Structure 1
Amino acid sequence: MIKQVRFTKKQRVVDELVHRIESGLLADGHLLPGEDQLAQELRVSHSTLRAALTELERRKYIATRTEGGAIVTYDGITLDQHNGWTQALANTGARIHTELLRLEAIERPDLLHQFGLSQFVMLERRRRRDDGTAISLERSLMPATGGLEGLPRVGLIDDSLTITLAAYGFVGDRGDQWIGAEPLNEEDALLLGRPAGTVFLKALRTTYDRHGRFMELVESWLDPVHFRMYHSFGTPT
């Protein structure tokens, strides 16, 4: 009987957290509340909670945050890119204004071999400081499937791409990101208000959801005056 009760409580916690994740209440990249708070909120013991979290991690609904690795900073403050650039920048306290430049359906036959599709929804956004200086330009490509094909008509939910993707069942699980320094071409330089050839940081990130589906390809141009890449290594003493 004790084992049955413990299993039932664990399953209840698993089901509740899965519901929150899949409904978008816990968007990709959001940190779970602390263990004490979560155990109290769900009215279970710490051991039951840990067993539930282990099950969620096994099923790839959550991932343990690890130390080290390369991260991007804005004015020396680390950015949690799992929440998207808008939320990450807002969390720094910086007064950044995001402008939606384009949200439209496009064809990219050149990506058919890589992602298995050529129809995408493209989102283009520019971010400015209070003084009007453009600090970043972002282009996101998403599959024109699973309801996302309607985004050019209905728009984003709460102006958040992360929340919108989660609402359509796309929750990031894995991917990769490349960061380098490249000169701006004429089109991007015009949008950023800089001379062509100005060197910006370029970040290219590909994300897949926990079902292995492609969900986003993001190209970001970042002002190196404010953005830096930080890398930690070794064991803190």
Structure 2
Amino acid sequence: MYSKREQLVGDLSDLIRTGRLAHGERLPGENQLALQYQVSRGTVRSALSELQQLELISTQAGVGSFVTFDGVQLDQRIGWARALADAGSPVTTELLGIKTVEDQALEEEFGEKTYVAVRRLRREHNRGVSLETATVPAVGPLAELPGTGLRDGSLTKTLEAAGRVSVGGDQWISTERLDEGSAELLGRAVGELFLRAERTSVDVEGALVERVVSLLDPDRFQFHLTFGHR
């Protein structure tokens, strides 16, 4: 009996090898495949990763996005706290709390029932510039984070130590007006418009590494998209 993941890999392989899915033709989207095979998007990503390793598909090269703070690029792979420090910014990071939570949306997408949420506030001269909630699966040593805390104060180092290494993901950018709680923490007016960034990172198996939702001061943070070859 084949698993749904194995069936997905087999079906797509057959479509590609028999030419029914022509060279250069775009694959169905993750959501479409997840609905068709009744699996999570994480399972779809894992199947696509295997097809890429088999050299049956390839991802589009030269496409990416990055965040800048006052025009200086921030490397999200090392964490914004370190990136801001490396850029010489006087921004400080305050850990607001670490707690175990349940997240129905993440459970439906990745299958894990419990998660750990890490909330951080960044200030410059006592004025809040970003408010962030990072959610990671409560598995292995990550499940103990509410008691043990972050490794060297860094979530990036903590994830690496737990063997959770991101190989890709997606990011959505929108805007959001501050509610009373966020406004109080940031020292801003209720209803002030902030950028909202939601970034989901996965490992090579398609399992969740972290989902980060950030509220960012639009006067200080910008998003830049690159594509093709420059």
User: Across the two proteins, how many residue pairs are aligned to each other?
Assistant: 173
- 2:129 maps to which residue? 135
Point out where structure 2 has 5 or more consecutive residues left out of the alignment: 1-52, 55-60
Match of 1:88 among 70, 83, 86: 83
Point out where structure 1 has 5 or more consecutive residues left out of the alignment: 1-57, 60-65
- Structure 1 SS opposite 2:81: helix
Judging changes above 3 Å, is the alpha-carbon distance between structure 1 residues 172 and 69 closer, same or farther for their aligned structure 2 residues? closer
Whether the 8 Å CA contact 1:204–1:217 is kept in 2: the answer is yes
Judging changes above 3 Å, is the alpha-carbon distance between structure 1 residues 67 and 108 closer, same or farther for their aligned structure 2 residues? closer
Match of 1:222 among 208, 213, 216: 216
Q: How does 1:3-82 map to 2 (within 5 A)?
A: 69-82=64-77
Post-superposition CA distance 1:49-70 (Å, at most 9, x none) = xxxxxxxxx79xxxxxx75533
- Structure 2 SS opposite 1:204: strand
- 1:206 maps to which residue? 200
For 1:90 and 1:169, locate their aligned partners in 2 and report how far apart those are by CA, in whole Å: 25
Match of 2:187 among 188, 193, 201: 193
- Structure 2 SS opposite 1:95: coil
Post-superposition CA distance 1:161-210 (Å, at most 9, x none) = 01110101101111101112221122211111111111111110011112
Post-superposition CA distance 1:107-127 (Å, at most 9, x none) = 223432122122111100001
Judging changes above 3 Å, is the alpha-carbon distance between structure 1 residues 114 and 226 closer, same or farther for their aligned structure 2 residues? same
- Structure 1 SS opposite 2:112: coil
- Structure 1 SS opposite 2:121: strand
- 223-232 vs 162-171, which moves further: 223-232
For 1:233 and 1:164, locate their aligned partners in 2 and report how far apart those are by CA, in whole Å: 31
Judging changes above 3 Å, is the alpha-carbon distance between structure 1 residues 227 and 112 closer, same or farther for their aligned structure 2 residues? same
Alpha-carbon offset, residue 218 of structure 1: 0.5
Alpha-carbon offset, residue 144 of structure 1: 0.6
Alignment partner of 1:115 is 2:98: no
For 1:217 and 1:101, locate their aligned partners in 2 and report how far apart those are by CA, in whole Å: 17
Alpha-carbon offset, residue 229 of structure 1: 1.5
Q: CA RMSD in A?
A: 2.0
TM superposition score normalised by structure 2 = 0.70
Alpha-carbon offset, residue 234 of structure 1: 5.7
Whether the 8 Å CA contact 1:110–1:118 is kept in 2: the answer is no
Judging changes above 3 Å, is the alpha-carbon distance between structure 1 residues 77 and 144 closer, same or farther for their aligned structure 2 residues? same
Judging changes above 3 Å, is the alpha-carbon distance between structure 1 residues 95 and 67 closer, same or farther for their aligned structure 2 residues? farther
One-letter code aligned to 2:221: F
TM superposition score normalised by structure 1 = 0.68
Identity of aligned residues (%): 44
Judging changes above 3 Å, is the alpha-carbon distance between structure 1 residues 235 and 116 closer, same or farther for their aligned structure 2 residues? closer
- 1:18 maps to which residue? none
